[in-house]
Amino acid sequence: MNFQKLFESAPGLYLVLDPELRIAAVSDNYLRATMTERREILGRNLFEVFPDNPEDLEATGVANLRASLERVIRRQVPDTMAVQKYDVSRPAGGGFEVRYWSPRNTPILGPDGQLTHIIHQVEDVTELVLLQQQDDQVQQQTAELQARTEHMQAEILRRSDELHQANRFLAALLENLDVGVAAMSAQGDWTVFNQALRELYDVPEDWAPQLVAQRLAGMTFKPGGAPMPLEQSPLMRALRGEHVRAADVIVQAPDQRERTFVAHAQPITTSDGRRLGAVAALHDVTAVRRAERFRACEQQVMRILSTAPTIEDAAPDVLHAVADSLGWPHAELWLIDSLTDTLHVVAEWSAPRLRLDDPVGGSVDKGVGITGTVWATGQPLWVPDLTDSAHLATEESLARAQACDHQGIRTVLAVPVRDGETVLGVLTCYANTPEYDKDLLAVLLGSIASQIGLFVATHRAADLRGQLSRTRDDFLTLVGHQLRTPLAIIASNAALLTDDPDFSADDVRLMLQAIDRNAGSLCDLVDDLLELAGLESGHLKLTVTALDLADVVAAAVAAAEQAATANAVRMHTDLPDHLAMHGDAARLRQLVDNLISNAIKYSPDGGDVHIQLSDQAGVAELRISDRGIGIPPADHHQLFGRFYRASNVAHQGIPGLGLGLALARTIAELHHGTITLHTAHQPGTSLLLRLPGYPAVPER
């Protein structure tokens, strides 16, 4: 069967164009209507064969037809045009003949979905608009009808031109809106996808419906993070007749930040209720939603800090809340360690499946790296590209930057944690998508850092008030119990000996032993108090020399062996061969003796005592842990107070004055060190002594 012959003989007026708008085929009726020959027009450009009438200065046929064909090429959907005035050239240079047409342009797609041809179909409606060419008799008989027809023709042309003007204005308006606008016909064909949406979804200007559907499916999500199928999108819901109001839609392009939009969509209907399609508008509310999340985050952080006993307990939950509200994968909180004059990491939080090594060895020097720079300047620091930062001055910070880059993390924001003008630490957060609202983020993150700074400063002030209160209580305890009780025993026994000389020799011996024992307790108490007061006031000076702390600890362990054996305690040591530092060897031995003695004494049922000494980045750390009776949580805050004895000690009948740990802490502080309780150690007690290494010189 000769399909070409069938096409050429088709009753309609058809022209087949290739994508370059060259004439590929033409029907016989089209040739007759346009007064052309097949061999003269095949292979030539459409507008070369059919130009505008040069005598008609207002001719718009070529421009309108070209625009329609370009829409078909770009969108690959049919395009029906309004009635067009498009004059055709008469053969042999006979000028132009006025013609009116009703065109429709239809794309032909190949198996791969690409445009191969366009069918240009027209109907010659010239006779409808040119009835005046009828003979005089018909004109006379139909004068009234002709007048109405001419008026209708003029109105059709005017409205057609108005329609073209309105369409051009509407298209320009949609293209210039900041709001994303999309529309579909009732048949589900895309008709509008404006510039704001094309930029958002990375769709080219000459967009095709298949590409739009593909990008929407891969980049649109529900508020919970689940993908949003096209059928569940606000536009498709509106196409089914639903009115969608204020629906949140999440859009995230590859390697771009997540953005939140509020979508409104509704059906497009005629006055009689016939549905023509649907339209949807997307408004960017990313900054608004982020501010809302941060307000909620501030309240959550306030609740966390209000119930946490220490910043170490609060920090993990605070960092989780901050990172979650930002949508960032990693956050760290650093506080200044006055012992080493470095920042140490208090806590860090990472999103699931994110694996980062410990942050820069757990400590940072002032002015070094991003976090150290914020400490030094006291100002927020925004680093848009971590791998290209000028603040990565050490091998550790460079290695960490490379590890972050490997995990897709590129952006860092660090803000100071303050108490007034005093920097207490740094809050550092890491992003894995580009960010643009750095000023807003710095303000939001700074408000969280202010809460943390207030918490730390308040608790430090509370600790100071507690120390002052305990000093007052210590004095009352000293007068009311530690001094009165022994003196009362001495006085009562002396009175008995004076008043009744007839006591037996055994009774007298017992009374004198009681007097001697309590007098000895008073002497020990006075000696400890004088020693403690002398050290705190500076009247007792340290004898500072270079020493080996490992030898000091080993000697203290050896001296405690007999007491440990008597109490069925097994001591386990983990000591280095040497650990050099400056200090008073006798006082440090006194301190270590006290800690080991307590560990043995408060393990009445025997057990294991672990003694571990190590050098941690220039800081000597001695940890002594036991599995004994432990310290009740309610007593933790007064552990190092004078005359403090835990509430559970009285039930064990273990003797003591309650001055040992107070003296130990004083000796540690005179060496610029600290001694702290590990509250999570259960059962028993674990104390950590931290002393600066060789370069430090204690107070003399």
Cβ neighbours around 252 below 10 Å, total = 17
Alpha helix (H) ranges present in 109-266? 126-129, 136-141, 143-176, 195-201, 209-219, 234-239
Arithmetic mean of pLDDT, 301-318: 89
Q: How far apart are alpha carbons 509 and 531 in whole angstroms?
A: 32
For residue 360, what pLDDT band results from cuts at 50, 70 and 90? very low
**Cβ within 8 Å of residue 570, ≥6 positions away:** 564, 606, 607, 608, 609
Strands 220-221 and 190-193: unpaired
Provide the percentage of residues in the chain whose pLDDT is more than 70.
76
Arithmetic mean of pLDDT, 162-177: 74
Report yes or no on whether pTM surpasses 0.85: no
Domain 177-284 has CATH 3.40.50.720: no
For residue 397, what pLDDT band results from cuts at 50, 70 and 90? low
**Cβ within 8 Å of residue 293, ≥6 positions away:** 325
Are 661 and 594 in contact by the 8 Å Cβ rule? The answer is yes
Q: What is the pLDDT of residue 96?
A: 92
Arithmetic mean of pLDDT, 665-683: 83
Identify the residue with better confidence: 484 or 617.
617
Identify the residue with better confidence: 655 or 242.
242
Q: What is the pLDDT of residue 387?
A: 66
How confident is the prediction for the chain on average, in pLDDT? 80
Q: Which amino acid is at 407?
A: Q
Arithmetic mean of pLDDT, 267-273: 88
Matching fold, domains 3-129 and 177-284: yes
**Tokens 């929407």 belong to residue:** 216
Q: Which residues in 18-142 belong to E strands, given as ranges?
A: 23-26, 79-80, 84-85, 88-89, 96-97, 100-109, 115-124
Q: Which CATH class is domain 541-692?
A: alpha beta
Q: What is the pLDDT of residue 629?
A: 77
10 Å CB burial of residue 241 (0-12, 13-18, 19+) is exposed
Helix, strand, or coil here: 392? Answer: coil
Cβ neighbours around 85 below 10 Å, total = 20
Q: Which two tokens stand for residue 670?
A: 């005179």
CA trace torsion 266, 272, 274, 275 (10° rounding): -10
Give the tens place of pLDDT for each residue, 201-214. Answer: 888 888 788 888 88
Lowest mean pLDDT among 130-134, 147-151, 579-583, 688-692: 130-134
Our CA angle for 367, 368, 370, nearest 5°, is: 95
Arithmetic mean of pLDDT, 585-599: 88
Arithmetic mean of pLDDT, 256-278: 88
Q: Which residues in 539-646 belong to E strands, given as ranges?
A: 545-548, 569-574, 580-583, 607-616, 619-626
φ, ψ (nearest 5 deg) of residue 217: -65, -35
Identify the residue with better confidence: 315 or 681.
315
For residue 598, what pLDDT band results from cuts at 50, 70 and 90? confident
| Residues listed for the chain | 700
**Cβ within 8 Å of residue 665, ≥6 positions away:** 640, 675
Say whether pLDDT at 696 is over 50: no
Select the highest-mean-pLDDT range: 380-394, 435-449, 611-625.
611-625
Q: Where are the domains of the chain?
A: 3-129, 177-284, 290-463, 541-692
Q: How far apart are alpha carbons 304 and 429 in whole angstroms?
A: 19
Say whether pLDDT at 476 is over 50: no
Q: What is the pLDDT of residue 494?
A: 63
For residue 695, what pLDDT band results from cuts at 50, 70 and 90? very low
Sign of torsion, CA 154 157 163 164?
negative
Are 62 and 47 in contact by the 8 Å Cβ rule? The answer is yes
Are 115 and 19 in contact by the 8 Å Cβ rule? The answer is yes
For residue 449, what pLDDT band results from cuts at 50, 70 and 90? confident
Bridge partners of 431? Answer: 411
Are 83 and 101 in contact by the 8 Å Cβ rule? The answer is yes
* 683: preceding bond cis by omega (within 30 degrees): yes
> What is the architecture of the domain spanning 290-463?
2-Layer Sandwich (3.30)
For residue 388, what pLDDT band results from cuts at 50, 70 and 90? low
Provide the percentage of residues in the chain whose pLDDT is more than 90.
28
Q: Which two tokens stand for residue 623?
A: 């940890």
Identify the residue with better confidence: 687 or 405.
687
Q: How far apart are alpha carbons 286 and 333 in whole angstroms?
A: 26
Tell me, which fold does domain 3-129 have in CATH?
Beta-Lactamase (3.30.450)
Q: How far apart are alpha carbons 331 and 425 in whole angstroms?
A: 14
Chain CA centroid to CA 335, Å: 21
Strands 381-383 and 411-419: antiparallel
Chain CA centroid to CA 280, Å: 30
DSSP labels, 660-692? HHHHHHHHHHHTT-EEEE-TT--SS-EEEEEEE
Identify the residue with better confidence: 545 or 511.
545
Say whether pLDDT at 645 is over 80: no
Give the tens place of pLDDT for each residue, 40-97. Answer: 999 999 999 999 999 999 999 999 999 999 999 999 999 999 999 999 999 887 899 9
Are 115 and 76 in contact by the 8 Å Cβ rule? The answer is yes
